[in-house]
Amino acid sequence: MNSKQSSISKEASISGVGLHSGEQVNLTVAPAPINHGIVFQRIDLESEPKVPALVDYVVDTSRGTVLEKDGAKVQTTEHILSAVGALQIDNLLIKIDGPEIPILDGSAIEFINLLEKAGIEEQNALRNYFNVTEAIQINNEDHSVELAALPLDDYRLTVMVDYKSKVISSQHAQLHNLKDYKEYIAPCRTFVFVHELEALHQAGLIKGGDLSNAVVIAEEAVSDEKLQELATLLGKDKIEIGESGIVNKEPLKFKNEPARHKLLDLIGDLVLVGRPLKAHILAARPGHAANVDLAKAIKKAIAASDKAAPTFDPNAEPVFDVNGIAQLLPHRYPFQLVDKVVSLDGTSVVGIKNITMNEPQFTGHFPDNPVMPGVLQVEAIAQTGGVLVLTSTGEPEAYWPYLVGIDKCRFFKNVLPGDTLVMKCTLLAPIRLGVAKMHGEAWVGDKMVCSVDMTARLVRK
């Protein structure tokens, strides 16, 4: 899995009809900066409103995943988001001049080709993974639908579908490596049963649907009269039942193509969490509603973890060790107060300070009762934030970082020799005109010892 964020190198476009709206839509993917995220833009509407690809904006999951913000709606987002997720693209602007993402051939392969044509480009910021540390589960009342995110230091998906059908038996699909997505998952098309078509048509849906963009499945023998009705519904002169109850003349791409397509949808819907995941996703009979429920549950777990003490793996290679920090910050002994940086993602940073008895402040600060001075705790937090601010410039050696404001500073517990101070700084707003506003915290174990809001200014040397 990629360690750094990525976008695309240049714009690329594609056109097609929306599956449900039937409207012709032009879609353009465009590069976006670090920490921009995936955002849709309705360029056909006044003021060209933007709709972030986040689960917060899901308004419908009945026959696809629909997003809406401030009256701007984007339908059938799951296939392009699946391609985005599989290619590990973090920052992208998707411009469309209609209400729905084009269905194309009903799979994600053309979106994969479009994004690869635009060129995947690594960016100078770490991906902000959410590591699932405890099982996150959702299910419906009768447990006929069950999804779970389980701890795993990787991203893996396993899907099972069972439609009680003679044509589609119980099927499984799995993806253990995102590099296999293009060949084994992306070409798998959406599907629909013959008995669903009439109701969908009467509901004003599938106006753009035909045999070129969906697998149509007949569970039982269909009369000539019904076949003609079906042909009219799908805009064809004539259709015949294909192999194994598949109406399309083209056979299935894989025997378990429906299960693979459900896995494709699941990847796309989980992009709506807003952060890349490290987890094993298990899904029994998933659909868009359940996928979105799991995405919401994961996002709730993320919110809870953001309020908890930062965690780090002492065995993992740091982002910056003490020597790397010395190359970024101007501080030197005895005033270099960060020993290593263990996380850095463009909006937040986590640093470590080991408190030892032989540090110079303990000579005169309560020598018989050594307590780390509060001002040095704040300084250590500020230096951690300095790493975040400097690295965001792309040329950290060109700036001096100055702490120019402290607000809402509180100390909750003494910090003593032998403690490990874990410090986290998060940007409160994008850095503008060299001014960065951050919230900083310091923890010892699971206890917060200091909290402070800070303002820093970058001054060019």
pLDDT of residue 247: 78
pLDDT of residue 182: 98
User: Residue 266 domain-assigned?
Assistant: yes
Residues 301 and 263 grouped into a single domain: yes
User: Residue 312 domain-assigned?
Assistant: no
Residues 9 and 129 grouped into a single domain: yes
Residues 95 and 71 grouped into a single domain: yes
Residues 146 and 164 grouped into a single domain: yes
Residues 283 and 394 grouped into a single domain: no
pLDDT of residue 19: 83
Catalytic site residues?
288, 365
The CATH number covering residue 393 comes to: 3.10.129.10
pTM for the full predicted model: 0.81
Distance separating alpha carbons of residues 291 and 66, to the nearest angstrom: 13
pLDDT of residue 244: 64
Strands (E), 271-315: 277-284
Residue 279: CB atoms within 10 A of its CB come to 24
Torsion sign (Cα): 166, 106, 265, 118: positive
Q: Which parts of the chain register pLDDT below 70? A: 198-199, 201-207, 209-211, 221-223, 233-244
- DSSP character for 100? B
Helical packing angle, 78-86 and 109-118, nearest 10°: 50
Residues 335 and 427 grouped into a single domain: yes
Q: What sections of 31-189 are H helices per DSSP? A: 78-86, 109-118, 181-184
User: Residue 429 domain-assigned?
Assistant: yes
User: Residue 86 domain-assigned?
Assistant: yes
User: Residue 295 domain-assigned?
Assistant: yes
Residues 20 and 166 grouped into a single domain: yes
Cβ neighbourhood burial of 416 (10 Å; 0-12, 13-18, 19+) = middle
Residues 228 and 366 grouped into a single domain: no
Distance separating alpha carbons of residues 171 and 256, to the nearest angstrom: 6
Residues 60 and 176 grouped into a single domain: yes
Range of the domain at 276: 4-187+257-306
pLDDT of residue 242: 61
pLDDT of residue 222: 67
pLDDT tens track for 110-137: 999 999 999 999 987 778 899 999 999 9
User: Residue 209 domain-assigned?
Assistant: yes
pLDDT of residue 94: 98
pLDDT tens track for 425-444: 999 988 888 999 999 999 99
User: Residue 144 domain-assigned?
Assistant: yes
Residues 177 and 263 grouped into a single domain: yes
The CATH number covering residue 152 comes to: 3.30.230.20
Strands (E), 32-108: 38-42, 50-52, 58-60, 66-69, 72-74, 92-96
Query: How many domains would you assign to the chain?
Result: 3
Distance separating alpha carbons of residues 98 and 401, to the nearest angstrom: 46
Residues 51 and 151 grouped into a single domain: yes
Residues 14 and 110 grouped into a single domain: yes
In one letter, which amino acid is 18?
Answer: G
User: Residue 452 domain-assigned?
Assistant: yes
